[in-house]
Structure 1
């Protein structure tokens, strides 16, 4: 059955109001045959062409934008020296492919050394500051060339029981102190890993900066910033006439620098760090005789609790060990305070911690000095003869009091390093001011 879809339109003119006349005029105009057929043939094709062109243009612009971003990121990474490359290839490649490491190695993970790299349980990268280039990984051949084949003429000191310290020049012209370790036993290997791990994390102007390390096959080397004036021990106790004696002002600055170094380790590190081998040999002096603490091979992470103890093997140097640590192996940050007190006594007296050549009763520096430190007349008699009386007696008495507190037999009676720093700052500041005034008086006025 067919359905008639034709609509019957009544004859005669349509009845419309004047208000709708315009609308009906446009209606007839749109439905006229000429206009209808024209739009049906061209409108869809032109629209599709325009849409496709715009989409293609947008995609092209987006692609260009992404390429520019990738190029900029690659340039930025190249400038910062951050390259992702396989760890083993760093040992096999030459200088041009060497990896500049700015990694933070987890201390608690006790990383193993394999194939020239340190593998820790928690490796992460941190942004480097402009002054800090990062801990660099060296090959043995590079360090061999830097020291002239580890020539004896470049030996600048004994690097401890495990090796020697050499003066060397790196490929970029940097003067460095290169410590060649003779790894024998697990303790020496552990000390190497601890030192790399800790100094990769710790940043302080009072700690010697670790420039790099080498773990190439069986070779173990540490590369430090070069300290031209050597060790504090050498300046206090050397019999070499060429060694420049330290005046009172230099000794006070060194005492403050060392106190700030230990304060940083105890109070400002993420977790407290106990040096465990603080002594004059591990205090190095720069060109201005400012002090920095070095050698963290025996360092230990301390307890987070106030005066918390850590049980460990007794390691360190005779004469510097706190009595409670030497007898029980109980280690705290106050153990470092005791060692600091011994160094302070050395600065005051010029004596070594243990000297069997001395008369009976004077063999051990602490035992001899402790009862004298509270007596002004005896303190003056204790002063290093090299100073020739050129010191402030008022400051001497105050420094003697600080030393007496630091070497107390009971750890609880020893001060925090923060307190020591605050006590020394006024003394050094006063000495600096008086030195400036004396200098000004010597300048003739025209």
Structure 2
């Protein structure tokens, strides 16, 4: 009986998939038939008239193309602007979408054109590019409100005309009527519609349009000029498209424009009836398919419920979901977090200029990170999984599973992901001030970190870790807290990032053991580095190291090899024992800090890095310690010995200076106590 039920479920499921595929195929085919913007042509200007591009002009050009792309999503299909004030560096830019195309698709066409124009017209001070749905143009001189009729491009149709002279005459008469509509008092500057030339010719469809910066008279002159070109290029063809930087004419025997008509169009009654009939048929078909899908879904659910009713009391805990061991080298879609929005690959490619080096922020163990933007203009950082990194696949899944479920002001937000065409990408909020490491370990940048900012960063990190350990839906151990994994927003507020190595615990679970010790030299707790044991106290140790780094402005990693000849932890401990702990404070701070407050922070930092994990406070206790000036703190015990590699790390290569310090470089260490 169970076997028959299983077979029935499988059979029903296959029918379900079949109906879904039919529905998707039908709807996407219908939608895509008139959706993808197609490249028509370009005018890169006369090479003898082109001026050499200055660095300022190139910067302004990139900025104006970005502005045109983002503006197209919110405008009514047209806009122009100028960026730059110097005569040699000013860039004038304009886009104009076809009158029947607005909104998201207009933005898609303009973004495609903006990305393509630099490739097709490299190092040009003036250029124009045409797609079938939009035009984009830029120049180093002001062309707004000026009629431009060169260069002229033309695209003849593929079908030969049966009676070319008669067809051209009738088509020309109809196009002239559209020109009249477009340039009438309403000044729409575009019109579209259909007419029947009679006989067996069938219906014909036309569209005329000018850029919105022209006057009606300029538009009429431009369109008539394009109409004069038709006999020269397209006399023997049924359809054609002729245009210039200021206007275009398109004419064919099929409805190439969107069905929703503009005020300047003139559809026939027959067309309205046909469109209405087609719409009704489409609605009936879609409703029928949806009803079938719903019925099949209900049937499958009922069979599944009946077959598994005896086991309905078995619930899969969150910890079980979180402890799945991934061994596959390929990322399966069903392992992703269903709550996380997906971002189309085409949007990411457009916003990063197809992952160009100019958009690259840095490179980490996971892979490269790029700066991009969403359709609403939100700046984002995009992590791209290196296809050669098997370790990165586990990190990718970890971040999707964990951070999408976490919401706290001191945790970096994961906005979405993309798993498409062998690409695996994570989309984060962009942190304009890079990482804490970038500011803390640079002589010049560190001057910006006064004591008020540093104590704010310490408090923010403590609250972020407390949320992970005790207040989030999952009990998360970060396992790789360090200065380069702390990002700073516009107001220099800290946000913990990079959850590639994070692990989740059940509420009653205190620690876990692993044979795969992974972490970063200088931040790993001794019990984790030497025995593979990790717990919330492992993160507390890392937090303590980070506190002492923030106070001193020195790296624990490499401190041993400095003039002190000992680790930052031992150095801090010895100063504490001598009653000279204020010698640890960064000299840049001078006398801008409160002695009692700094002394208390050093005290808390030493409590966090004690050798025995049992002696370390929890993050809830640390937060209370930081907030209270009267709470009596226990005396710290000896900190852990320095834990690191057998061999001193090599100095970074010259290329390393170009790597964003916010990018995580995972270190797998050969561990020995020193």
CA pair 117-314 structure 1, distance change in 2 beyond 3 A: closer
Unaligned runs of 5+ in 1: 1-84, 97-103, 125-133, 428-446
Cα-to-partner distance string for 1:156-184 (whole Å, 9 max, x where unaligned): 334x2122222111122111111122143
- Determine if the alignment matches structure 1 residue 417 to structure 2 residue 623: no
In structure 2, how many angstroms separate the alpha carbons of the residues matched to 1:220 and 1:118?
11
Q: Give the distance between the partners of 1:319 and 1:175, measured in 2 at CA.
A: 33
1:111 to partner: Cα distance: 7.2
Deviation at 1:330, TM superposition (A): 0.7
Q: In the alignment, is residue 140 of structure 1 matched against residue 342 of structure 2?
A: no
2:423 to 219, 223, 226: 219
Q: Match for 1:172 among 358, 372, 376?
A: 376
Aligned length: 319
Q: What is the deviation of 1:341?
A: 0.4
CA distance in 1, matches of 2:530, 2:445: 40
The whole-number CA distance in structure 2 between the counterparts of 1:404 and 1:287 is: 30
Query: Is the 1:302–1:310 Cα contact (8 Å) retained in structure 2?
Result: no
CA drift of 1:228 comes to: 1.1
Task: State how far apart, in whole Å, the 2-side matches of 1:173 and 1:216 are.
Answer: 22
Distance 1:380 1:242 in 2: 22
Counterpart among 325, 336, 346 of residue 539 in structure 2: 336
Q: 2:334 aligns with which of 115, 119, 133?
A: 119
Distance in 2 separating the partners of 1:113 and 1:212: 23
RMSD: 3.0
With over 3 angstroms needed to count, the CA separation of the structure-2 counterparts of 1:199 and 1:110, relative to structure 1, is farther
Q: Deviations over 1:235-288 (max 9, x none)?
A: 10025x467620101111110110111111111123321100000101011111
Aligned partner of 2:358 in structure 1 is 153
Q: Quick check: 1:322–1:335 contact (8 Å CA) kept in 2?
A: yes
Go from structure 1 to structure 2 and tell me whether the alpha carbon gap of 1:261 and 1:374 turns closer, same or farther (over 3 Å shift): farther
Provide Cα deviations, 1:356-383, integer angstroms capped at 9, x if missing partner: 5412523x2223222323544x211111
Flag the 1:322–1:149 CA change in 2: closer, same or farther, 3 A.
same
- In structure 2, what is the Cα distance between the partners aligned to 1:116 and 1:143? 19
Aligned to 2:117: none
- What residue number does 2:399 align with? 195
| Deviations 1:201-257 (CA, angstroms, capped at 9, x unpaired) | 111111111001111132121110111111001110025x46762010111111011
Tell me how far apart the structure 2 counterparts of residues 314 and 223 of structure 1 sit (CA, whole Å): 28
The equivalent residue for 2:516 is 313
Stretches of structure 2 lacking an aligned partner (at least 5 in a row): 1-19, 37-103, 106-317, 630-674
Query: What TM-score, normalized by structure 1, do the two folds share?
Result: 0.65
Larger CA Rg, structure 1 vs 2? 1
Per-residue CA deviation, residues 9-52 of structure 1 (Å, 9 max, x unaligned), is xxxxxxxxxxxxxxxxxxxxxxxxxxxxxxxxxxxxxxxxxxxx
Spell out the pairing of 1:365-376 with structure 2 (5 A cutoff): 365-376=568-579
- Superposed counterparts of 1:348-427, under 5 Å: 348-355=551-558, 357-359=561-563, 361-362=565-566, 364-376=567-579, 378-426=580-628
In the other structure, the counterpart of 2:525 is: 322
Q: CA contact under 8 A between 1:109 and 1:120: conserved in structure 2?
A: no
Kept after mapping to 2: 8 A contact 1:162/1:183? no
Given that residues 208 and 293 in structure 1 are in contact (C-alpha distance below 8 angstroms), is that contact kept between their aligned partners in structure 2? yes
Q: Flag the 1:255–1:304 CA change in 2: closer, same or farther, 3 A.
A: same
Q: Is the 8 A contact 2:408 2:467 kept in 1?
A: yes
Going from structure 1 to structure 2, the CA distance change for 1:278 and 1:136 (only over 3 Å counts) comes to same
- Which residue of 1 is the match for residue 323 of structure 2? 108
* Alpha-carbon shift at residue 388 of structure 1 (Å): 2.1
Distance across 1 between alignment mates of 2:328 and 2:495: 28
Q: Structure 1 residue runs of 4+, over 6 Å off?
A: 92-96, 111-117
TM-score by length of 2: 0.44
Aligned residue number for residue 248 of structure 1:
451
Using a 3 Å threshold, how does the CA distance of structure 1 residues 336 and 143 change in structure 2: closer, same or farther?
same
Partner of residue 51, structure 1 = none
1:296 equivalent to 2:499? Answer: yes
2:382 and 2:370 mapped to 1: Cα distance? Answer: 5
Contact 1:191–1:298 (CA<8 Å) still a contact in 2?
A: yes
Q: Cα deviations across residues 372-400 of structure 1 (Å, max 9, x unaligned)?
A: 23544x21111111212210100011101
3-state DSSP of counterpart to 1:402: helix
1:287 lines up with 2:459 in the alignment? no
Find the residue that maps to 1:137 and give its secondary structure: coil
Aligned residues of 1:314 and 1:326 also touching (Cα < 8 A): yes
Measure the CA separation in 2 of the matches of 1:341 and 1:116: 36
